[in-house]
Amino acid sequence: MTVDVGLTVNGVRHDLKVDSRTTLLDLLREHLGLTGTKKGCDHGQCGACTVLVDGVRKNACMNLAASLDGRGIVTIEGLGTEQALHPMQAAFIEHDGFQCGYCTPGQICSAVGMLSELKRGLPSAVTADLREAAVDMVEAEVRERMSGNICRCAAYPNIVAAILDAGKA
């Protein structure tokens, strides 16, 4: 069965007819040609497909496109350009926060969403004081919040350094 889905992806409105079982990941890659978002495990376990849905990080493989009708999606392609990188993209380059690069788009989108969570004061499992209005951006917070994004090359020290640096900006 096909359904109508209207999404704003990277600032551009798209009205599509898709199979009702189509995930956001498959819509992005197969229908819109946005291949920056990677299909890693296709089970919501690795984070390679992380995108921002209305500013909140989501695993694109675990969300049906039809359930996101009318929402705003930002992928790695929508964060910056070659001429004007997003601060998180620039920090990943500066800190060599990648090796093979397969997980990098999901890591960067997740990191951008994570910084938004910190700014909104949302606690994590390692937040020291849940009564505080703001959450400090420390290494333990970054590691906990990014734990859903796996890097098979183990570039974690550089990824954390990049996030901490970009978070200061």
Q: 150 and 96, same structural domain?
A: yes
Residue range of the domain that includes 11: 2-79
Q: What is the pLDDT of residue 169?
A: 76
The answer on 74 and 6 residing in a single domain is yes
Same domain, 91 and 161: yes
The pLDDT assigned to 133 comes to 66
Instruction: Kindly report the CATH number assigned to the domain that includes residue 120.
Output: 1.10.150.120
* pTM to 2 decimal places: 0.95
The closest alpha carbon to 71, from 49, 55, 48, belongs to 55
Residue at which a domain ends, from 20, 51, 79: 79
> Domains in the chain: how many in total?
2
Residues 11 and 63 in one domain: yes
65/112 same-domain check: no
Per-10-residue mean pLDDT, the chain, length 169: 97 98 98 97 96 98 98 97 95 95 97 93 86 80 95 96 93
3-state secondary structure of 73: strand
